Each structure stands twice: as structure tokens, then as C-alpha cells.
Amino acid sequence: MQHKPQSLQDWLLHLESLHPKTIALGLERVAEVKHRLYLDPAFPVIVVGGTNGKGSVCALLEAIFHAAGYRVGCYTSPHLLHYNERVRIGKYPVNDVELCTSFEQIEKARGEIPLTYFEFGTLAAMQCFISHKVEVAILEVGLGGRLDAVNVFDSDCAVVTSIDIDHTEYLGDTREKIAFEKAGIFRTGKPAIYGDTDMPESIATEAQNSGALLRSLGNDFSCKASELQWDFHGRDRRSSLPFPALRGAYQLNNASTALAVLEELNTSMPVCMAAIRRGLTEVELPGRFQVLPGKPVVILDVAHNPHAARSLAKTLASMQPSPRTYAVFAMLKDKDMAGVVRELMWQVDIWLVAGISVPRGAGAEELAQVVKKEIVEGEVQAFASVTQALHHASKVADENDRIVAFGSFYTVAEAMRAKSA
């Protein structure tokens, strides 16, 4: 390091330059640096993995534990606008100074050991949680589970939200192979929660092999919704619950998964019904079917694989119909672009396709060709950027139309910046 980084932005640029790969799976390097830093949490740790729904379950647990009066640390990724969003204590992002201090200590401790950007961030988050003496830490897996940096910390409760095809170059090309990687966060004698009714066999197999105590949605806990409220059935029944503030019918699965975690930790961290109700109604998660105020309505969603796109399509279909739906659509080229289009084409009238100016971003023309090949009907226009596509949509859409910006975290982040400019 020629010049010591001063600002958080300096540090983030430095971290990006340290390792030749953005993603380098394996725990040996990060485990050694963790050992050198004496990062051994004395509080319960909840590790949350899965293909989709990870962020929602983390946000729900964070909101409920916070409402119950616990000091909560929550580590998630990626961020939308500011890196600090990844590391929260008491629902507030940790400030630049604390993050820079942690990065500096990790830099000294690692010596010649190369760490990725994500590995640095994971160690820094735990360092902040320990220094603030949090009472529970919620850690979201970055990629997979078995070899993800988060898995260097033993969980008191492990969660896998759902399994679908994504990141095949790292995790395998079938649900069973991907589930094996996700289940790598299970621990002997500790609860393991699976938050979807469609459970791959390898989840049960790995739970048995690891000695984890598996509970799954549809077998050991469930939810039932009526028009105005819903019930949770687990070891206990929790009735007449308010719907989560997160939009989409699929969020009931995520809320049920969070409540199953609460049941497992109830002895050491009891949570009353009032806190559950408050947490469900106060939970926030930007970029997950986030509806912006004003007309025409603008919806932001980070859906970036067919499974998430299917959920987005169902939620759009459940809304009051609009004369026209404009899609502001941009994706990374290593994702299943065609699969996402197929899931959403019946909900979209006009596709405003944009490029993303990052190395993995698909170009506008490339993405436009994918859309044209897949859709049965509808108009497709290409724009250099998400900002341009969104400005065009806002200009031509009538007040009763709707605009949906989706396809990646980069898409939503640029749309957020454009709307706030």
C-alpha cells in the first residue's frame, strides 16, 4: 500500500485492487485473519443464505429484534447507494470513521494474506458488532454458503430461504448442487430453517450429515392468510398478525421463516407479540418492490433471476390494472436475461432497455435482442443508461400507467439516483 487510504472511498478503491478476483471462494484465508483479530462473537449469530429472500428475512429479523429492545447488528450485501448500508447497528448504518478504522486494523493483521472486497467487509462488520457489544448479529451470505466468508462464523441458527438456479459458474447447474452449497452454513446441534415449500433433497441430506436440527416451511411451520391478516403455525400459533410492510405475497414465506427463527432462539432471546407486530409493520427494505410516491407510479425491484422475476410478475398481476406498464430493464450479462424476460413479458407493454456501465453489465443492444427474441408482443426501445430510459418513461407515461425498474441492484441504484436528482 503506497499511500494510506484516508476516506471510506479511498479504502473501498484500495480493497477492490487487492485481490485479482472479485469472488474467491474458500475459508482458509479469511479464517486466518479472523483468528489474528480475535473475532469471536459472544452473542448469538444468525446466518441467512438462499437464492432469493435473504435480504427480506434479514430485514424482518432486524426489525423485530429491534422492536423487542435488543441491540441488533445486521450485515447485508450488496448496497444500493452507500457502502455503509451493509453494516447496521440499531438499524442505523455504521459511520465512515468506524469502517475505516476496521479496514485499517484488518489491513495490518492480514500481512501477506490476500482478501477480497467482500471478505474485508465481512470481517469489518463483525469487528464493529463486537466493539458495539450487540446482543444479536444477523449475517447475510454473499454467495452460496459453504465457502462464503460469512461462514467463517458459527451460527446459532442458520437459514436458507429458497433455492433456484443462479451463480451456476460457482455453485453448480442444478438445484440439488446449489442446495448443497447453501446448506454448508448448517452447524451440528443447531437449528437450520428452510423457508420454502419446495425443498431440494440435498438440504435434508446435509442437515442430517451435519447434525443440524432442520425445520422447513410446509412441514414444521406454515402460514395462512385471510383478507386483512395472517396466522403463523409453528410450535405455537400466532394469530391475527399484520401483513409485513414489504410488498408481495411471497413475503409471507419470508415472515414465517423469520418467526421460525424467533421460536428457535426464544429461550435466550424472547420476543413478545407486540414486538413481532411492530417489527412486521415497520420493516423497510429499499429496492424490493419499492413503490415511489407520485404518478405515474414507479416501482423499483432488484429481481435479477427468473425466480425473483416470477415473484415480481405475481405481485404486479395482483395490483389494480394499469393501461400500460413500462419496463426500465437493465441486467448483468452473466445472468439469465431470457429467463427473466419470459417471466415478466405478460406484465409489460413497453420495454425500455438500458445498458449498465460496469464490466459485467449487458449492453443495451445486446439486451434488446434478448427481449425481442422472447416476447410475443410489445415495443422495445434501447437507451444508453437507466437514467435516460427512466426519464423517457416519465415523459411519455400517463398518470395511470406504471413504470417498473428492475433487473439488478445497479439498475435500482441508478433509478434511485435519477429520481432524487
pLDDT at 249: 80
Measured CA distances, 27 to 115, 146, 219, 254, 342 (Å): 10, 9, 33, 28, 37
- Order of strands, sheet of 72-75, starting from the edge strand that comes earlier in the sequence: 92-93, 87-89, 72-75, 136-140, 45-49, 157-160, 191-194, 213-216
Amino acid in the structure at residue 186: F
**Cα angle value 273/249/312 (rounded, 5°):** 140
pLDDT at 218: 96
pLDDT at 145: 85
SS3 211: coil
pLDDT at 376: 80
Q: Which domains does the chain have, with CATH numbers?
A: 8-282 (3.40.1190.10), 290-420 (3.90.190.20)
Q: Tens-of-pLDDT digits for all 421 residues of the chain?
A: 457 888 999 999 999 887 656 556 679 999 999 999 999 999 999 999 999 899 999 999 999 999 999 999 999 999 999 999 999 999 999 999 999 999 999 999 999 999 999 999 999 999 999 999 999 999 999 988 899 999 999 999 999 999 987 665 666 678 899 999 999 999 999 999 999 999 999 999 999 999 999 999 999 999 999 989 999 999 989 999 999 999 888 899 999 999 999 999 999 999 999 999 999 999 999 999 999 999 999 999 999 999 999 999 999 999 999 999 999 999 999 899 999 999 999 999 999 999 998 888 999 999 999 999 999 888 999 999 999 999 999 999 999 999 999 999 999 999 999 988 7
Bridge partners (DSSP) listed for residue 231:
224
Question: Distance between the two ends of the chain, CA-based, in angstroms?
Answer: 36
Contact 413/286 with Cβ under 8 angstroms? no
pLDDT at 70: 98
Alpha helices (runs of H) in 172-267, residue ranges in sequence order? 175-182, 201-210, 251-264
The cell numbers describing 371, all together, are: 427481449
This prediction has a pTM of 0.94
pLDDT at 174: 87
